[in-house]
């Protein structure tokens, strides 16, 4: 459906996501249990049927279970037609919204999305979700912490562009340092200071995110592994399971169901 890149439902009993980023907004509601996550290097928690977590694109975050019972969640990955980039700052400052009516609107949207013939209803419900999210984010006056220096930010952005362009082929640290004319360790420090995670973790997360999309389009895991830059299917399986909490084969089977 326009505006929604992916829908993800999961139950985790004992799982921890590594730090990663998304190209889309992640709008999450919790059906049972609690989840804790770090966003932009600050920790947050979401519990119960009134908490809505909104994680903006490009901002590193992780996630983990809090109790032995784990948690159940439903996530909508939304593109910039629903939430524009200007909301990144407010969302990063206050990512958890205690809003029962918004939770219920998102719940209704998930229900409509589960039936192929209810596309018009789903579009209508998404419109009401968008309206309430915009209302929250427009009212938030969040003072963002000072960012990295101009030179560090410039180098980090250049390295990020290089990693995005070489996602499949990859690039060695020495080669990147030569291209950007910077010392390798200085390049790593600038990237982590700017984006909150080291370059290798960023690249792995990008590959996993691309793999999700290709798997849902019907591509086989072995084919997807090399298409996104992993050495082989075993390499994909290891990182995909760490990031998503299930294997590529299981993810594909559920996605097609």
31-61 per-position pLDDT tens digit:
999 999 999 888 999 987 788 999 999 999 9
What angle do the packed helices 199-216 and 248-256 form, to 10 degrees? 40
- Evaluated on CA atoms 246, 250, 255, 257, the torsion sign reads negative
194, 188 Cβ separation under 8 angstroms? no
Domains of the chain plus CATH, in order, are 4-139 (2.60.120.10), 150-256 (1.10.10.60)
CA distance 130 to 110: 14
pTM of whole model > 0.85? no
26 strand-pairing partners:
55, 77
182, 155 Cβ separation under 8 angstroms? yes
CA distance 182 to 162: 14
Residue 254 has pLDDT above 60, yes or no: yes
Q: Work out whether strand 51-55 and strand 16-20 pair parallel, antiparallel, or are unpaired.
A: unpaired
Question: What token pair was written down for 91?
Answer: 């969302």
16 strand-pairing partners:
64
- Give SS3 for 196: coil
Q: What is the pLDDT of residues 58-107, one digit of tens each?
A: 999 999 988 888 999 999 999 999 999 989 989 998 999 999 999 999 99
* Averaged pLDDT score across all residues of the chain: 90
Q: What is the pLDDT of residues 132-175, one digit of tens each?
A: 999 999 888 444 444 556 788 899 999 999 999 999 999 999 99
- Evaluated on CA atoms 108, 114, 117, 123, the torsion sign reads positive
């Amino acid at each position: 459906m326009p505006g929604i890149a992916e829908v993800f439902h999961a139950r985790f009993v004992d799982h921890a996501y590594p730090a990663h980023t998304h190209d889309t907004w992640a709008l999450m509601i919790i059906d049972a249990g609690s989840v804790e996550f770090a966003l932009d290097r600050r920790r947050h928690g979401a519990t119960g049927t009134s908490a809505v977590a909104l994680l903006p694109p490009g901002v590193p975050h992780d996630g983990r279970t809090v109790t032995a019972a784990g948690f159940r969640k439903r996530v909508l990955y939304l593109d910039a037609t629903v939430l524009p980039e200007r909301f990144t700052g407010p969302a990063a400052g206050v990512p958890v919204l205690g809003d029962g009516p918004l939770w219920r609107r998102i719940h209704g949207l998930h229900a409509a999305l589960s039936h192929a013939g209810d596309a018009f209803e789903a579009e209508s419900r998404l419109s009401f979700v968008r309206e309430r999210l915009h209302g929250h984010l427009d009212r938030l006056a969040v003072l963002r912490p000072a960012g990295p220096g101009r030179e560090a930010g410039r180098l980090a952005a250049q390295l990020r562009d290089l990693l995005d362009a070489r996602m499949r082929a990859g690039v060695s640290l020495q080669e990147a340092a030569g291209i950007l004319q910077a010392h390798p360790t200085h390049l790593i420090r600038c990237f982590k200071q700017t984006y909150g995670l080291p370059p290798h973790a960023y690249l792995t997360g990008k590959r996993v995110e691309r793999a999700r999309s290709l798997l849902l389009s019907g591509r086989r895991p072995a084919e997807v592994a090399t298409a996104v830059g992993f050495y082989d299917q075993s390499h994909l399986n290891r990182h995909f399971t760490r990031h998503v909490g299930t294997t590529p084969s299981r993810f594909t089977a559920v996605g097609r169901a």
